[in-house]
Chain A
Amino acid sequence: MSGILNSSIGRKVAMALSAFFLMIFLLQHFIINFLSVINPDTFNEVSHFMGTNPLIQYVMQPILIFGVIFHFVMGFALEIKNRRARQISYARNNGAANSTWMSRNMIYSGLFILIFLIIHFIDFWIPEINTKYIQGDMSGLLADGEGFRYYEELVHKFEPIWRVALYCLGFVFLALHLLHGFMSAFQSVGANNKYTNALKGFGKAYSILVPLGFIVIALFHHFNH
């Protein structure tokens, strides 16, 4: 068992496991966000729960942060190793003949997602941490005390068109990343059997619908207010 993370397959599996975790998180994030389109009150209540529940805040949140960092760091480490495995590149290479653009450019879609994530953290996560743990306001209420602040803050963020555009682009890259990453993660943990075709369909739907949903949310709030 020791040293498994030093082996090629061990790292592959670790990438896949962190990917599974992130994909589940993403779905959960999406569902909660989508509540903001359906019913702002429910959205506020769930957001408050997530933002204040100790299990979520002190256990799940660190795991998530670790998962994100791990996925990125390992991704970069593997990319470096993989580039070393071919020091002289082909004068002519026809990658499109045998693989998808997405599969060949995970590092670039990943990098764009990283940039997006940094902005996303600055937009939402850092203000949250500031409000809750530095200012010590765990109430989740608006400054005037009239109801929860979460929905208002969300709507406010999506006012500038540049941010909406940036988010949309971020989700397009996320979709591209997932279109290869979803099935790739299953293959890495050794799941390739008679269910694979069904899973492929599901993966495609997930990879397109979830990012698309996020885009819809952003556009909805931008144009509705």
Chain B
Amino acid sequence: MNLTLKIWRQKNANDKGKMVDYPVTDVSPDMSFLEMLDVLNESLVQKNEEPVAFDHDCREGICGMCSLYINGEAHGPDRGITTCQLHMRMFKDGDTITIEPFRATAFPVIKDLVVDRSAFDRIQHAGGFISVNTSGNTIDANAIPINKHDADESFEAAMCIGCGACVASCKNSSAMLFVGAKVSQFALLPQGQVEATDRVLNMVKQMDEEGFGNCTNTGACEVECPKGISLENIARMNREYLKASLKG
């Protein structure tokens, strides 16, 4: 396959940045999207040009590092996958593919397609944990039976990989699916109840301070989420937040 790539190039955080066209030839449909970019970068290095910077690490869809906005969608046109799992067989010979970084004020561009998602970390610092020290003397793991349905739902929320596709896809750049997933994971477990009030208040406060937009329930995040995190988690966070606010 021969393709034309339109890629966002930006030297660093202060640079203005622009879209640049690159032709790529002999792309195999069995390549992953990132392997296709590897080929482009190899040719750029050969030409003594700067390769395109993009985030990636595990290349099996779990680390959440890769983050491209491809043809107007986070992680590209396929569903239930990250960019590293997107394969070139999703495209046709002669296609023009637009590749941009995840865009949000809270995710400033570092270089080209690489963005800074440390805002997610800071939200977690504010309350994404259960305060239990390492001791080896916590109660036995089976001391508290947990309803299988709740445990499974908690796990489904915990599957979030923190990639930021929800923010990138949301027309408001809202982080509520991400925060909702973390709040839900703990809200569904008995261990999480003790700190539930502070957790949701602190995490939402930090989320707001980071400059994410507000949720208007378009549902784009759920559709684009590579792990299928459900909107129910946002509803649950809203409930938890109301409960916590009323409690004070």
Contacts and interface: CB of A to CB of B under 8 A. Distances in A.
Interface of A: 1, 4, 7-13, 78, 81-95, 97-100, 103-104, 106, 180, 183-184, 187-193
Closest 9 CB pairs of A and B: A94-B72, A190-B239, A85-B213, A192-B235, A82-B172, A98-B223, A85-B173, A82-B213, A103-B218
B211 interface: yes
B146 interface: no
Interface of B: 6, 8, 19, 69, 71-73, 77, 98, 100, 103-106, 169, 171-174, 176, 204-205, 207-208, 211-220, 223-224, 231-232, 234-242, 245-246, 248
B177 to A, nearest CB: 12
B218 A100 contact: yes
Contacts of B176: 8-9
A7 B218 contact: no
Given A1-B246, A88-B103, A90-B103, A103 B219 contact: yes
A97 B100 contact: no
A220 to B, nearest CB: 35
Contacts of A83: 213
Contacts of A13: 238, 242
Nearest to B237: A9
A10 to B, nearest CB: 7
User: Which of A4, A13, A100, A192 has most B Cβ within 10 Å?
Assistant: A192
Contacts of B173: 82, 85-86
A191 B205 CA distance: 22
Given A4-B245, A99-B219, A187-B217, A90 B237 contact: no
B72 A84 contact: no
Contacts of B239: 189-190
A85 B104 contact: yes
Contacts of A88: 103
A104 B218 contact: yes
A9 B238 contact: yes
Contacts of B211: 84-85
23 contacts: A1-B245, A7-B204, A7-B245, A8-B212, A9-B176, A81-B214, A84-B211, A85-B106, A86-B104, A87-B105, A91-B6, A91-B98, A92-B72, A92-B98, A98-B219, A98-B220, A99-B220, A103-B219, A183-B217, A187-B231, A187-B234, A189-B238, A190-B238
B227 to A, nearest CB: 15
Contacts of B104: 85-86
B109 to A, nearest CB: 8
A93 B170 CA distance: 11
Contacts of A82: 171-174, 213-214, 216
